[in-house]
């Protein structure tokens, strides 16, 4: 899904000094504040403990976290992290999203078309090499040299397709680490509950608490066609978490902006978030109505609707945080304080004072190109799986002929297995949904750039958005994986000769898309990187280095306790819910309708079983599927959400209200055992 949307992370930097005593921090595994933890909680994880947890944690490359919970490669993550797989494995006849999925035996486990899992096996600090490669360079040249060196390091590291090597930027350029992952592309679905209980309460309850969701799925990593044997895994918690218990979360927070300059945040607040919301709300309206047209239309659009609705709620939360004047005021003050410290020291001033104005200028250069960049290069004007595939084929065929370090980053050697997996994915593509998405996207392209824009005229010609979308779909053979394979194998020549209308369109648009990309990288991205790196260094100089870097979808460890909170209106929210609460909340109408399996099993269930749990761990989007780990290093639950206040965590952590939300280990066992009859999984989890 959304192959065409290459999401670009916004630059972020460092934590707030003011929150230093809170349970704040998305800590690096190779720089964990064990001493601080000991002082506060009397528990000091050693490196062995940390290494074990790191190796038991995994990343779903599309944007989630997970954990290995058995020696046979059983992976626990969220239902919503495997939702697209579950949908892709379904058909009009058998809808696993609605009915749930349980592989009775290992042989019944089914391969997910597009899930790639990464296990972080090694971290190497490569800061010196990157710094040496970019020394004395400015903006565009700085950016190119840095990307080139990163691709070079990654290529040296990735000696086989089973290794994924990413050079990651930490502390916004304060450090660069090489993350070496074991890559699993054979990932199979083991268990998923019904969507109705995975996402009980639906969009209305999303980002809220109390909750009653069994948002879990179990996958399994395979090697050589067999379950992968793993020495590192999290044993199941012998005791469930209680209020006040220490709770670690090991996972991959996607991105935070805790010291991003306010000029960048203003763009986020005034332009990026509002536009994204407008786009998403319209698409949500279309999909809602589309799904009412038939059960099959509902089925094929459900995963996309979920994705869109989730994005809306997350963005609204972030936008509301940025629009909150006192909150934004603290961000401004924080920046002013740092700038004042820099200005007060002539040496620091000479080195760093220019960074903030330079960022503001880069943001101003971005403003007039933002819409076009978003619609053409990021792909929001061409919301279609087939267009996404066509574009990957066009780009890959061109990029592959260049030296690795000169390529667009997403086509560097180390990323190719993922790209090829997506191109050759057997996941079903539905004409009606494609037509709907693409017609919408093309009409937004025209709306945002205007009907007289040269690009819009080139794309639409005399056709309406829907006519064009219909013609492309009618003429294209790209739904056939064999056709894609032939183009992939045929390389630049085959792609150049293709008359497939999606390939033709992607090919025709590519020169201007690339030109825009280059302009963006040279005039915006490069200066932003360079100057945010300076700001990171200024922050080190002012406040020292004993802190954590902003989230970058790399593995982090956070700690906290099981803890409720008090709302602004005075309501006290307790940190644990139970099964009885789910039955009490049921109305019988979606999204507050429990699945039949639950209703039938009610009498057998211990209704006092803890269901969902809130902790004050510092998490954010990307942490979905992360294990909650107790002090014994055992799996005590799985994170699936944060409360509404956690969305402001993008910009700053407020321990009084920011909460992570997960499924409690006891709920998982009780449901697997008594509702789903998944004895095989229960035994595997319990190590029997």
Would you tell me which residues interact with a second copy (CB under 8 A)? 201, 203-205, 208, 270-271, 274, 277-278, 281-290, 293, 319, 323, 436, 440, 446-447, 450-451, 461-464, 467, 587-590, 592
Return the SS3 of 21: coil
Buried-exposed string 16-25: b where 16+ CB fall within 10 A, e elsewhere: beebeebbbb
Q: How are beta strands 57-60 and 117-125 bridged, if at all? A: antiparallel
| 467 vs 522, beta carbon nearer a second copy | 467
Instruction: Choose among 307, 339, 320: nearest CA to 649.
Output: 320
Helix intervals (H) in 42-190: 47-56, 79-88, 96-99, 127-134, 139-157
Which residue's entry shows tokens 């058995």? 70
Least distance between a second copy and beta carbon 317 (Å): 13
Contacts of 213 (CB under 8 A, 6+ apart): 197, 198, 199, 200, 201, 205, 612, 640, 641, 663
The residues near 135 (Cβ < 8 Å, ≥ 6 apart) are: none
CB of 328 or CB of 540, closer to a second copy: 328
- What H or E segment, with its residue span, contains residue 451? none
Nearer to a second copy, 223 or 586 (CB): 586
Backbone phi and psi for residue 368, each to the nearest 5 degrees, phi listed first = -70, -15
Least distance to a second copy, CB of residue 204, Å: 4
Residue 283 or 509 having the CB closest to a second copy: 283
Q: Least distance to a second copy from the beta carbon of 286, Å?
A: 4
Q: Please say which residue, 543 or 592, places its beta carbon nearer to a second copy.
A: 592
State in angstroms the smallest separation of the CB of 198 from a second copy: 18
Residue whose CB is less far from a second copy, 464 or 656? 464
- Determine phi and psi for 645, rounding to 5 degrees: -70, -20
**Distance from C-alpha of 622 to C-alpha of 253, rounded to nearest angstrom:** 4
Nearer CB in complex with a second copy: 72/203: 203
Residue 147 vs 519, nearer CB to a second copy: 519
* Smallest distance from a second copy to CB 468, Å: 9
CB of 568 to a second copy, least distance (A): 10
Looking at the Cβ atoms of 451 and 544, the one nearer to a second copy is 451
Separation between Cα atoms, residue 246 and residue 85, nearest integer Å: 33
Pick 162 or 278: Cβ nearer a second copy: 278
Least distance CB 172 / a second copy (angstroms): 26
Residue 23 CB contacts under 8 Å (≥ 6 apart), including other chains? 558, 559, 560, 561, 616, 617, 618, 655
Cα 342 to Cα 350: distance, rounded to the nearest angstrom:
9
Cβ closest to a second copy, residue 267 vs residue 636:
267
- For a second copy, the closer of residues 280 and 629 by Cβ is 280
CA distance readout (Å), 450 to 364, 453, 455: 21, 6, 10
How far apart, in whole angstroms, are the C-alpha atoms of residue 139 and residue 143?
A: 6
Q: How far is CA 55 from the centre of its chain?
A: 20
Instruction: Report, in Å, the least distance between residue 370 CB and a second copy.
Output: 13
Comparing CA positions, the residue from 127, 89, 91 lying closest to residue 109 is 89
Residues 6+ apart with CB under 8 A from 295: none
Closest CB to a second copy among 207 and 411? 207
Which region, left, alpha or beta, applies to residue 43 given φ > 0 means left and ψ of -120 to 50 means alpha? beta
CB of 577 to a second copy, least distance (A): 13
User: What is the Cα–Cα distance from 664 to 576, expressed in whole angstroms?
Assistant: 9
Neighbours of 391 (CB within 10 A): 24
Q: Please, what is the minimum distance in Å from the beta carbon of residue 355 to a second copy? A: 21
Closest distance of CB 439 from a second copy, Å: 9
In the bound complex, what is the minimum distance in angstroms from residue 459's beta carbon to a second copy? 13
Smallest separation (angstroms) from a second copy to the CB of 294: 11
Would you list the DSSP string of 135-148?
TT--HHHHHHHHHH
Report in angstroms how near the CB of residue 186 gets to a second copy at its nearest: 38
Q: Looking at beta carbons only, is 62 or 288 nearer to a second copy?
A: 288
Pairing of strands 556-561, 74-77: unpaired
- Which letter does DSSP use for residue 464 in this model? -
Tokens found for residue 192 = 């998923």
């Amino acid at each position: 899904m959304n192959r065409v949307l290459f999401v670009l992370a916004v630059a972020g930097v460092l934590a707030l000094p003011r929150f230093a005593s809170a349970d704040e921090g998305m800590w690096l595994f190779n720089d964990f504040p064990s001493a601080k933890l000991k002082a506060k909680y009397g528990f000091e994880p050693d490196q062995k403990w940390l290494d074990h947890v790191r190796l038991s944690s995994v990343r779903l490359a599309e944007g989630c976290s997970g954990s290995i919970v058995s020696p046979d490669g059983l992976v626990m993550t969220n239902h919503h992290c495997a939702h697209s797989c579950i949908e892709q494995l379904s058909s009009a006849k058998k809808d696993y999203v609605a009915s749930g999925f349980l592989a009775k035996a290992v042989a019944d486990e089914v391969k997910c078309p597009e899930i790639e899992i990464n296990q972080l096996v090694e971290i190497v600090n490569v800061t010196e090499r990157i710094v040496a490669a970019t020394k004395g360079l400015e903006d565009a040249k700085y950016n190119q040299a840095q990307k080139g060196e990163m691709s070079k390091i990654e290529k040296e590291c990735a000696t086989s397709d089973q290794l994924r090597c990413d050079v990651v930027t930490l502390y916004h350029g304060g450090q660069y680490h090489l993350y070496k992952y074991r890559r699993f592309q054979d990932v199979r679905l083991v268990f998923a509950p019904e969507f109705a209980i995975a996402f009980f309460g639906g969009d209305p309850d999303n980002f809220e608490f109390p909750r009653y969701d069994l948002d879990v799925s179990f996958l399994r990593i395979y090697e050589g066609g067999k379950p992968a044997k793993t020495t590192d895994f999290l044993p199941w918690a012998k005791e469930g978490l209680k209020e006040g218990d220490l709770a670690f979360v090991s996972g991959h927070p996607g991105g935070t902006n805790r010291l991003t300059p306010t000029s960048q945040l203003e763009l986020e607040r005034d332009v990026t978030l509002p536009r994204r919301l407008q786009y998403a709300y319209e698409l949500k309206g279309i999909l809602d109505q589309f799904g009412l047209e038939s059960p099959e239309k509902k089925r094929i659009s459900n995963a996309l609707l979920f994705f869109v609705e989730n994005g809306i709620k997350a963005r609204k939360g972030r936008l509301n945080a940025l629009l909150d004047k006192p909150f934004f005021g603290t961000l401004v003050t924080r920046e002013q304080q740092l700038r004042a410290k820099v200005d007060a020291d002539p040496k620091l001033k000479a080195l760093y004072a220019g960074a903030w104005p330079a960022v503001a200028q880069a943001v101003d250069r971005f403003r007039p190109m933002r819409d076009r960049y978003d619609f053409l290069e990021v792909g929001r004007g061409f919301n279609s799986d087939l267009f996404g595939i066509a574009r990957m084929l066009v780009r890959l065929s061109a990029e592959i002929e260049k030296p690795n370090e000169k390529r667009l980053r997403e086509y560097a050697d180390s990323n190719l297995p993922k790209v090829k997996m997506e191109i050759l994915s057997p996941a079903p593509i539905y004409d009606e949904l494609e037509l709907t998405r693409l017609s919408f996207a093309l009409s937004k392209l025209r709306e945002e750039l205007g009907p007289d824009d040269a690009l819009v005229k080139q794309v639409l010609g005399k056709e309406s958005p829907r006519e064009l979308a219909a013609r492309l779909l009618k003429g294209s053979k790209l739904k056939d994986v064999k056709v894609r394979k032939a183009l992939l194998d045929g390389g630049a020549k085959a792609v150049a000769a293709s008359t497939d209308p999606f390939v033709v369109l992607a090919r025709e648009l590519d020169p201007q898309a690339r030109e825009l990309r280059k302009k963006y990288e040279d005039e915006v991205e490069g200066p932003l990187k360079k100057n945010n790196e300076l700001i990171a260094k200024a922050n080190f100089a002012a406040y020292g280095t004993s802190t954590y870097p902003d989230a970058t979808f790399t593995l982090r460890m956070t700690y906290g306790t099981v803890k409720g909170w008090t709302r602004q209106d005075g309501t006290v929210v307790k940190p644990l819910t139970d099964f009885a609460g789910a039955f009490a909340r049921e109305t019988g109408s979606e999204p507050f309708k429990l699945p039949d399996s639950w209703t039938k099993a009610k009498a057998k269930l211990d209704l006092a079983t803890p269901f969902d749990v809130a902790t004050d761990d510092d998490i954010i989007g990307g942490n979905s599927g992360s294990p909650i780990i107790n002090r014994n290093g055992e799996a005590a639950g799985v994170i699936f959400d944060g409360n509404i206040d956690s969305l402001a965590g993008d910009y700053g952590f407020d321990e009084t209200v920011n909460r992570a939300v997960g499924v409690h280990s006891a709920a998982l066992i009780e449901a697997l055992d008594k509702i789903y009859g998944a004895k095989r999984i229960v035994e595997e989890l319990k190590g029997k």
